[in-house]
Amino acid sequence: MDQTEKHSILKTINLDIGYSNKTEKTIIAEAINIEVNEGELVAVIGVNGVGKSTFLRTLSGVQDALKGEVLVKNEKIQHIDPLDLAALVSLVLTEQPISKNLSVFELVALGRQPYTNWIGRLSKNDLRQIKKSLQNVGIEDLQNKKCYELSDGQLQKVLIARAIAQNTPLVILDEPTTHLDLYHKAYVLKLLKKLTRKTNKAIVFASHEINLAIQLCDKIILMQDKKITTGSPKELLDSGAFSTVFPKGLIVFDEESASFKINP
């Protein structure tokens, strides 16, 4: 087994994503072939409505693929038992319903549900994983606060800590920087980068923060109309892929600064 295959966490083979009913099939993107390895931070970027959330739901097994395969640690996702899948993939969705009457500690502890017994009792190992997650995300001082007392940025860190407490090799987040100001967007994405290095987990997230993703990510999955391009930021820069992200006119990609700018 070669080095890449050995460390593969997520892989797709000729994957088509979208929606279907009894009479028709709506394809959002097709023939998707990507690979995400241990310790990689990967951004899924694209304009509104291009299908980023559908893509992430399909990768995590929440939504069925129209065609092709999703493999997690080289096993087809549809063949993985739901409890086993919860020990492989943790998912943080946009606007995820949570009880804000829970304390920070209680919400992070929910990440241990795949491992607790039928009455939900936390073992010493569970408590150790929760403590480590709080420390890794830097929110130990918030653990006794109620979630309704938190700012949007603090709550986002708690949700990331819950995903880390689940102790899966793959973490998938949909728009983890929604509702945050520029400083906290950068803080959260830099935190994700730190977590991949510290825990060796693969983290895949959807984002509109393309300039930040170019600076911080190991790989970028660029979604356009029924087309997906993937590679390192440098590979996509060299190929000119970023120049076609937005409709021509208002926003342009400046190759010299490797960033998007408003067209004067």
Ordered DSSP codes for the chain:
--HHHHTEEEEEEEEEEEEE-SS-EEEEEEEE--EEETT-EEEEE-STTSSHHHHHHHHHTSS--SEEEEEETTEEGGGS-HHHHHTTEEEE-TT----TTSBHHHHHHGGGTTTS-TT----HHHHHHHHHHHHHHT-GGGTTSBGGGS-HHHHHHHHHHHHHHTT-SEEEEE-TTTT--HHHHHHHHHHHHHHHHHH--EEEEEES-HHHHHHH-SEEEEEETBEEEEE-HHHHHHHTGGGGSS-TTTEEEETTTTEEEE--
Tokens of residue 70, six digits: 């999703």
The answer to whether position 11 is within a domain reads: no
Residue 145 is given by DSSP the state S
pLDDT-derived band at 22, boundaries 50, 70, 90: confident
**Averaged confidence pLDDT in the chain:** 89
In this prediction, residues 233-247 reach a mean pLDDT of: 85
CA-to-CA distance for 246 and 134, rounded, in angstroms? 38
The answer to whether position 1 is within a domain reads: no
pLDDT beyond 80 at 29: yes
Separation of first and last alpha carbons in the chain? 52
The answer to whether position 76 is within a domain reads: no
Question: Cα dihedral sign for 163, 168, 172, 177?
Answer: positive
The answer to whether position 27 is within a domain reads: no
- The CATH number of the domain where 167 resides is what? 3.40.50.300
The answer to whether position 75 is within a domain reads: no
CA-to-CA distance for 154 and 24, rounded, in angstroms? 43
CA-to-CA distance for 32 and 223, rounded, in angstroms? 10
CA-to-CA distance for 228 and 49, rounded, in angstroms? 14
Domain of residue 236, residue span: 39-61+82-223+231-262
pLDDT-derived band at 169, boundaries 50, 70, 90: very high
pLDDT beyond 80 at 202: yes
pTM score of the predicted model: 0.89
The answer to whether position 34 is within a domain reads: no
pLDDT-derived band at 117, boundaries 50, 70, 90: low
The answer to whether position 13 is within a domain reads: no
Count CB neighbours of 144 within 10 A: 10
Domain count along the chain: 1
pLDDT-derived band at 5, boundaries 50, 70, 90: very low
Tokens of residue 17, six digits: 């994503």
The answer to whether position 103 is within a domain reads: yes
The burial class, CB within 10 Å (0-12 / 13-18 / 19+), for 120 is exposed
pLDDT-derived band at 2, boundaries 50, 70, 90: very low
